[in-house]
Homo-oligomer: A and B are copies of this chain.
Amino acid sequence: MTEQTTLAPLSSLSPAELEAFLESQRTAYAALQDRGLKLDLTRGKPSAEQLDLCNELLELPKGHKDASGTDVRNYGGLSGLPELRAMFADLLWVEPDQVVAGGNSSLTMMHDCLVQLLLHGGPDSPRPWVQEESVKFICPVPGYDRHFTMLASYGIEMLTVPMHDDGPDVEAVRELVKDPAVKGIWIVPTYANPSGSTCSQEVASALASMDTAAPDFRIFWDNAYAFHHLTEDEAKSADIITLASGSGHPNRPLMFASTSKITFAGAGVAFLAASQANVDWYLGHQQYASIGPDKVNQLRHVQFFGSADGVREHMARHREILAPKFAAVDAALESALAGRDVATWSKPSGGYFVNLDVLDRTASRVVELAKAAGIALTPAGASFPRGVDPNDRNIRLAPSFPVLAEVETAMAGVATCVLLAAAEKLAGVKG
């Protein structure tokens, strides 16, 4: 407990103590730089060890026919292999008819939906969204940078609401959806990127049932981490499709999932799950744009998993690899920062990220310091629309890709950068 007692809040230090502390951190940082590290905590990428779990896929499929006798090598089958749709319908609590198994990227399926909403509108749209005066989306923050960059690329205005432990701030959302230009919200509902929080059944119910001025309001429900538990206390995704259907807004949610962080990140299968009308709408446009998904790869996945339980069992193997890395992040931050009152961080029970909030106005400096010491972090502000964190406080840590020892090394370094940046700030020193 000796060390623990020395960790007083930085803000409580006297000017002389702070100066001494700043010096000590400069020394620590110089030592860090001298190590010549080259580590990367930027993206939520599976590690080679995780990818190795699926190397059997490289030798599959055996044969080239699905259960119905369809030759998976040929054209066709726009909605995907029936047995794979059934497997993920089970996992996502929908009917097989409500699932489309697509290509290798759920981001692409989300993009397809957004593009068709823009160019054609949805089943409940009075007109294509490009014909509206303006289109706005609600973005819980911190959130996933790829959602924001896609919206920005189409000139869609982004309105932020806070992301809480149980999902987006419902009251803030209710207020915004009174504007008919607000056409959607984009959520990572389970083990959110980057906060790790999971949308509760209550919040989901409120989002599904609330009145919206836009008749074609859409919830882009990016359930990327639905099965990506880090503990045995498994979060249960809210059943948004049933909730929306039950409250008279069946077409409101579009759910997306994929095996990108289950099998091979770049060679998995993506899924859309939605109301029958939405599925018909999606396929109705997709028929002009595709000769059908890669059914060979879908059969590969069917044979690899065997069943929905096969997916669940496989995720336990990922957990064994990932959980120690997340523990290492927490341990490094706890060890260096506890009591200092210069940072808070999430302790996620699933997903791919740790959300680190540092002293206001120091996140960019921390990322800059880390970079100069050979530790690549996601740019500060990346979890906010247009990359601007109004408090310059938020940093997304992605510990999945490096090996465990590298995570430990990198995180000790990050902690040093957090402390140095905080000390600089409090001492009024320009970094």
Contacts and interface: CB of A to CB of B under 8 A. Distances in A.
A71 interface: yes
Given A58-B61, A153-B285, A288-B111, A74 B264 contact: yes
Interface in A136-154: 146, 149-150, 153-154
Number of copies: 2
Contacts of A108: 289-291
A28 interface: no
A73 interface: yes
Contacts of A288: 111, 146, 149-150, 153
A119 B115 contact: yes
A406 to B, nearest CB: 16
A374 interface: no
Interface in A269-306: 285, 288-297
Contact of A107 (B51, B146, B291): B291
A153 B116 CA distance: 11
Interface string A60-79: 11101000000111111100
A43 B75 contact: yes
B296 A264 contact: yes
Contacts of A388: none
A48 interface: yes
Interface residues of A, number: 52
Interface in A83-135: 103-105, 107-108, 111, 115, 118-119, 130
Contacts of A198: none
Q: What are the nearest 3 A-B pairs in CB distance? A: A111-B289, A267-B296, A73-B264
A150 B286 CA distance: 10
Interface string A295-338: 11100000000000000000000000000000000000000000
A308 to B, nearest CB: 23
A260 interface: yes
Contacts of A62: 58
Interface string A37-66: 000000101101001001101111110100
A135 to B, nearest CB: 12
16 contacts: A55-B64, A58-B61, A58-B62, A72-B266, A74-B264, A74-B266, A75-B260, A77-B266, A104-B291, A105-B292, A107-B289, A108-B289, A146-B288, A150-B289, A266-B291, A266-B296
A214 interface: no
Chain A interface SS verdict (over half) = loop
Given A72-B267, A266-B296, 19 more contacts: A45-B74, A51-B71, A58-B61, A58-B296, A75-B266, A76-B266, A77-B266, A103-B103, A104-B291, A104-B293, A107-B289, A108-B291, A111-B288, A119-B119, A153-B285, A264-B296, A266-B294, A267-B294, A267-B295
Contacts of A60: 58
A291 B153 contact: no
A107 B55 CA distance: 30
A169 to B, nearest CB: 26
A348 B292 CA distance: 28
A265 interface: yes
A341 to B, nearest CB: 37
A64 B77 contact: no
A64 B265 CA distance: 13
A74 B51 contact: yes
Interface in A197-238: none
Contacts of A115: 115, 119
A191 to B, nearest CB: 18
A154 B288 CA distance: 10
A108 B107 CA distance: 15
Contacts of A54: 73
B104 A73 contact: no
Contacts of A71: 48, 51
A294 B293 CA distance: 12
Contact of A130 (B75, B105, B119, B295): B119
